[in-house]
């Protein structure tokens, strides 16, 4: 079945770095745009970043621009989020999510991963 599984979360000090991974299965990963979305404790959903199906274009929320980098390895069916210069306000559960339509045609998300927790604290 279609599945997304995140990993790589943990506790990191302010200013530190972390790389999240999202392993995809059950669909043709290389045909779909992918997103990262986060949710701070007790708060709502915040879109973080997007990468086109072929990796050719990337977009970021202003809150993470210049600090986070989204990437993908279509040969490994894996999405990544490199997070640098982490701040306390980056503490959240990070979800990867799949576009509902292929080839990065404007679409809603259809599948979400289970999430991975990132805590930024000294």
- What is the spatial distance between Cα 32 and Cα 46, in angstroms, rounded to a whole number? 20
Q: What is the arrangement of strands in the sheet containing 18-25, beginning at the earlier edge strand?
A: 3-7, 18-25, 78-83, 68-73
Instruction: Output the smallest distance, CB 103 to other proteins, in A.
Output: 13
Residue 103 Ramachandran class (φ > 0 left, ψ -120 to 50 alpha, else beta): left
Looking at beta carbons only, is 62 or 122 nearer to other proteins? 62
Instruction: Output the smallest distance, CB 40 to other proteins, in A.
Output: 12
State the binding string over 32-51 for other proteins (x if CB under 8 A, else -). -x-x--------xxxx--x-
The three-state secondary structure class of 95 is strand
- What is the spatial distance between Cα 80 and Cα 34, in angstroms, rounded to a whole number? 10
The footprint of other proteins on residues 52-71 (CB under 8 A) is 59, 61
5 binds other proteins per the rule CB under 8 A:
no
25 binds other proteins per the rule CB under 8 A:
no
Binding residues (CB under 8 A) for other proteins: these are 33, 35, 44-47, 50, 59, 61, 95, 100, 104, 106-115
């Amino acid at each position: 079945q279609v599945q997304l599984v995140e990993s790589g979360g943990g506790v990191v000090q302010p200013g530190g770095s972390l790389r999240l991974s999202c392993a995809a299965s059950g669909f043709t990963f290389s045909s779909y745009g992918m997103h990262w979305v986060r949710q701070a404790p007790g708060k709502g959903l915040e879109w973080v970043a997007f990468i086109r199906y072929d990796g050719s274009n990337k977009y970021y929320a202003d809150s993470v621009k210049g600090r986070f980098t989204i990437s993908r390895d279509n040969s490994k069916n894996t999405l990544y989020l490199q997070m640098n210069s982490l701040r306390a306000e980056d503490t959240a559960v990070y979800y990867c999510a799949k576009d509902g339509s292929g080839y990065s045609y404007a679409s809603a998300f259809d599948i979400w991963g289970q999430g991975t927790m990132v805590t930024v604290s000294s």
